[in-house]
Amino acid sequence: MKKWLSHTNSAVLSVAAVGIFILLTLFLNSLTGFQADLTASKQYTMSEQTRNAISGVKQDVRLMLFTVSGDGNELLNREVRDLMQEYAKRNKHLKVEEYDLAQQPAMAKTYGLTGASVVVLQGETKRVIELTSLFQSGSGDGSYQFSGEEKLTSALLGLTSDDQGKIVFLTGHEEVALSQMSNLNTALSGEQVSTEELQLAQAGSVPKDADVLAIIGPQRDISSTELKAIQTYMQNGGKLYLSLGFNEDMKTGWKNLDALMGEYGVQDQHAVTIDHKHASSMSILWSVPDFGTHEITDKLKASNLNPLLTLSVALKAKEQDQYEVTPLLQSSSDSYGETNLKDLLNNTTNNDKDQDPQGPLDLGFAVSSKDNKPKAVILGSSTFVQDSEITTGGNRDLALNAFSYLREKSSGVTIRPREEAGYQVAYLTAKQGSYIFTAAVVGIPLLFVMIGSLLWWRRRKA
């Protein structure tokens, strides 16, 4: 009888333990909104801006993640997926969806996607965020910065804005075509900005509804008639984004382009920057410039998002009293501007201190009126906006920040990127993998079976 009661008590305790475990599991599962950030800097705690943006969503919003399959992308995909799910937990109107880009080409075409992206959609209004724009190199070896919260919150806030923008891109002078800037075009479209090309010689004038006239990488000069049309547009409140191309005869061949820049206090030095200190490993013609202090570059500097420029034409500010001219990018003090462009094309360059301008050299300026209204952004390089280079470093952000500055459409969202330690991959041999599998699947369970059998045998003898 005593033995029977003992077995009964054990059974009751076992059932009670299982029941308590089930109830505790159900209780914890019901606490969907409960989380604890145990990091010292609270880096996983959402900012007040984000919480307000999420609570402000009153209609259904689709958060669509378009991923590219592959082991190398899984970490990026998981970071973005987890963040989107955190947003959805806090508002029932936010719905997370995930698609494989390769398996949904029709949807990708509908939303104008060229790579892995997040589409934030409410009705007919959408914002597109490219996944590559969410990740930057961190301060330590293998570490990275994740700016997903800032970009996703900006996209949510942008849905409530009915503001539409328009940027026209000048053509006819061997500029970079829009078809070569599809990534930039997609990013602008995600900010509700329409784009179109303009043959000014045929149209006769810049559209009055254009927020910005963009001249990207002209190889040849504009005509005197085109210059007058641009001057008329600018006098009527227009904005100019000019990034120079390359022409070995730029000193004599860019008369009207030089005149246009000169009206806004910027002078072309007709020299290509050679910067051995900041040169890329690819070529001395590639350089990573230093930042000036301006709203276009301040966040890039804080996030260590340096652009990579090539064939940068040296510029300098000229004396005038109508505009404020602020340096955006500079080469190092060890740089110089090569004026012998014919030799440069033959991969020959020498620092002629009597002829070549000496560093530091200005590579870009922001121009504003005396009442601090943006008027122009003038850069000495244009290749960084092409599809082949725009995802490098801070190239994409530099271009978008410049356009946003000219349109006076800063989102105002400033959320510090989250820095993560780099993941290290352990590569195992087949033999090592077999040992680990055997230990985990066979060895550990067998150990518990042996311990249980031993305890059962001792109790039975007792």
> What distance lies between CA 244 and its chain's CA centroid?
23
Which comes out higher in pLDDT, residue 205 or 43? 205
232: tokens are 């008329």
Supply the pLDDT for residue 312: 92
Kindly report the length of the chain: 462
Of 96, 98, 94, 91, nearest to 60 (Cα)? 94
Amino acid 44: pLDDT: 61
Q: Which of 282, 383, 287 is nearest to 335 (CA)?
A: 287
Q: Is the pLDDT of residue 22 over 70?
A: yes
Select from 59, 90, 247 the least CA-distant residue to 160: 59
More confident residue, 206 or 7: 206
Minimum mean pLDDT range among 251-260, 271-280, 429-438: 429-438
- 32-71: burial string, b at 16+ Cβ within 10 Å, e else: eeeeeeeeeeeeeebeebbeebbeebeeebebbbbbeeee
Which DSSP helix (H) or strand (E) runs through 232? helix 224-235
- Of 26-35, 159-168, 383-392, 404-413, which range is least confident? 26-35
pTM: predicted TM-score of the whole model, two decimal places: 0.70
How would residue 195 be classed by pLDDT, with cut points 50, 70 and 90? Answer: very high
Note the pLDDT tens digit of each residue in 120-148: 999 888 888 888 888 776 666 667 778 88
Looking at residue 40, its pLDDT comes to 46
pLDDT recorded at residue 121: 92
CA 156-162-163 angle, 5° bins? 105
Confidence of residue 388 (pLDDT cuts 50, 70, 90): confident
Mean pLDDT of the chain: 84
SS3 309: strand
- The amino acid that residue 94 corresponds to is L
pLDDT digits (tens, 9 = 90+) for 306-357: 898 988 999 999 988 899 999 999 999 889 999 998 888 888 888 888 889 9
Taking the C-alpha atoms of residue 168 and residue 238, their distance in angstroms, rounded to an integer, is 11
Q: What is the pLDDT of residue 95?
A: 95
% residues pLDDT > 70 (the chain): 83
Read off the DSSP letter of residue 228.
H
Q: Which residues of 12-30 are buried (b: 16+ CB within 10 A; e: fewer)?
A: eeeeeeeeeeeeeeeeeee
Domains of the chain (ranges; CATH) run: 48-157 (3.40.30.10), 164-407 (3.40.50)
The yes-or-no verdict on residue 104 having pLDDT over 80 is yes
Out of 46-50, 121-125, 262-266, the most confident range is 262-266
Q: Is 433 helix (H, G, I), strand (E, B) or coil?
A: helix
* DSSP line for 17-65: HHHHHHHHHHHHHH-TT-----STT-TTSPPHHHHHHHHT--S-EEEEE
Handedness of CA 177, 183, 185, 188 (dihedral sign): negative
Q: What pLDDT score was predicted for residue 141?
A: 66
* pLDDT for the residue 264: 96
The pLDDT of 109-122, averaged and rounded, is: 89
Tell me the percentage of the chain whose pLDDT exceeds 90: 40
Sheet strands (E) in 40-181:
61-67, 94-100, 117-122, 125-130, 135-137, 144-146, 165-170
Task: Look at residue 200 and tell me whether its pLDDT is greater than 90.
Answer: yes
**Pairwise pLDDT comparison (321 vs 419), residue with the higher score:** 321
Task: Calculate mean pLDDT across residues 213-240.
Answer: 96
| Half-sphere exposure of residue 370: CA atoms within 13 angstroms, side-chain side | 3
Across-strand partners of 419? 145
> Could you give the angle at which helices 148-159 and 48-55 cross, rounded to 10 degrees?
30
Rounded Cα–Cα distance for residues 399 and 85 (Å): 30
CA distance linking residue 388 with residue 23, whole number of Å: 56
pLDDT at residue 41 tops 50: no
